[in-house]
Amino acid sequence: MQGGLVFIYTECSSQTKAEALLSLNKKIDIHKLNNTEEDYNYLLEEIQFKKKKVIKFIQFCRTFKLCSTAYLLTTNEYTGITVKENDKNKWIEVSFKTNAIETQKINISTEEHFKADPASSFSIFLEKDTPQSEVNKITVAFVDLLKMYGINKKNTLE
């Protein structure tokens, strides 16, 4: 019986990068903020960038022509993941060292990418009524995905 439990744990915890990306995209899509003022969609995908496979996090926006941004996670550490909220919504903020994330603005009409200023964080906006358990699942899934790509939490004792 004990061997069976180890097998089940191994099967559940050995998710591939593709499966982790798909699963996290689905979780975010279910709970993302849906309103007419801030019409954002999110997509996580793996891309080849400067001869390295990295996570590309895209924040799509249909409000303005050039308000969509791609964040290229080429760094090897993040500084934190925090959950914040106000009276309208909740959001998960993923933070990195200052200017550690390369970014590109995206023209949604043409899908052209333009170099943009580097960033230190990005946010995923969720519905205000998203249960804390679901927010926690998204946060944990994000941490697991970052680890798969060799991006670990910066040791604050350094």
One DSSP character per residue, 74-112 reads --SEE-EEEEEE-SSEEEEEEE-STT-EEEEEEETTTTE
pLDDT at 125 over 80: yes
pLDDT at 44 over 70: yes
pTM: 0.83
pLDDT in tens, 71-122: 999 999 999 999 999 988 899 999 999 999 999 988 877 888 888 999 999 9
CB 98 within 8 A of CB 120: yes
45: β partners: 56
Q: What's the mean pLDDT when you consider all of the chain?
A: 86
Rounded average pLDDT over 39-59: 90
pLDDT at 156 over 70: no
pLDDT at 6 over 80: no
pLDDT at 112: 83
CA nearest 69: which of 79, 56, 81? 56
pLDDT at 14: 67
CB 144 within 8 A of CB 138: no
